[in-house]
Amino acid sequence: MIDRIHIGEIEIEVTRKNIKNVHLTVHPPDGRVTLVAPLKTRLEVARAFALSKLYWIRQQQEKMAAQARESPRQLVKRETHYLWGRRYLLDVIPTEVVQQVILDHKRIRLHVKPGASKAKREELLYAWQKALLHAFIKDAIAKWEKIMDVQVRAYFVQKMKTKWGSCNHKSGTIRLNTELVKKPKDLVEYVIVHEMAHLIEPTHNAQFVALLDKYYPSWREARMELNELPLGYVEWK
């Protein structure tokens, strides 16, 4: 069961789990706040804890709000796009044959039918990005399954508004944000390891931190760098 408490303008999502300590998190990219507490924690106690951390919550939200964001992409010639942390210029090339996307040195060449709509150009580019991300994730999961001795039953990539990834511990599945294809590969790998660690320990407790320390010692630096990179523009309707 999920409860919600409000401290001024801040809404905090409260869940109770079989844990010993309270975990308060401000989630990128939009500053959503969650609080996970031990099973018998009263709501007023959770509220008092959150109130004691109010300055820290606002500090984190302000930092995220100030984070650079991409402007809406128009999918036109010489527009800037990112792939694996590198900046590329877009070429839109009319074609009467195969519509496709080709990476060529410092350019992403979008071959599309003359007069194709912005929606069609977006569709082609997005499909190409997803294919690249799938290939990377598949190899990374295979690598880390052997290292961590854990199995991912299935994974999914999709547009996600508030998370880089998520894990369903019970089903053994993970989900990853399609925006990750724009980020450096080592940071994408950190997110994959983070979500795979949740298959071993579903909460962000001391055991989970120990798992990250063991398998990805630079995870703190990776998390900081990832959350400081520009966020993609996504219009949510």
Indicate whether 10 and 110 sit together in one domain: no
As a three-state string, the secondary structure of 154-182 is EEEEECCCCCCEEEECCCCEEEEEHHHHH
Indicate whether 150 and 184 sit together in one domain: yes
Q: Tell whether 215 is covered by a domain.
A: yes
Q: Tell whether 155 is covered by a domain.
A: yes
pLDDT band for 233, please (50, 70, 90 cuts). very low
- With 80 as the cut, is the pLDDT of residue 69 above it? no
Indicate whether 118 and 155 sit together in one domain: yes
Number of structural domains, the chain?
Answer: 2
Query: Average pLDDT for residues 135-159, to the nearest whole number?
Result: 96
Residue 206's CB: how many other CB atoms inside 10 A? 12
Q: Tell whether 127 is covered by a domain.
A: yes
Q: Please report, as a single letter, which amino acid is at residue 125.
A: L
Run of H or E including 57 = helix 54-65
Indicate whether 133 and 216 sit together in one domain: yes
* pLDDT per residue as tens digits for the range 93-131: 999 999 999 998 889 999 999 989 989 999 999 999 999
Residue 67, pLDDT score: 63
Residue 2, pLDDT score: 86
Indicate whether 170 and 104 sit together in one domain: yes
Indicate whether 140 and 177 sit together in one domain: yes
Residue 232, pLDDT score: 60
Q: Tell whether 233 is covered by a domain.
A: no
Residue 75, pLDDT score: 82
Residue corresponding to tokens 């989630």: 27
Indicate whether 59 and 87 sit together in one domain: no
DSSP labels for 27-91?
ETTTTEEEEEEETT--HHHHHHHHHHTHHHHHHHHHHHHTS-BPPPP---TT-EEEETTEEEEEE
Contacts of 218 (CB under 8 A, 6+ apart): 190
Q: Tell whether 237 is covered by a domain.
A: no
Q: Give the structural domain span for 190.
A: 80-228
Q: Please report, as a single letter, which amino acid is at residue 100.
A: Q
**36 to each of 20, 22, 40, 111, 205, how far by Cα in Å?**
10, 6, 12, 48, 10
Cα 179 to Cα 144: distance, rounded to the nearest angstrom: 21
pLDDT band for 208, please (50, 70, 90 cuts). very high
* pLDDT per residue as tens digits for the range 89-102: 999 999 999 999 99
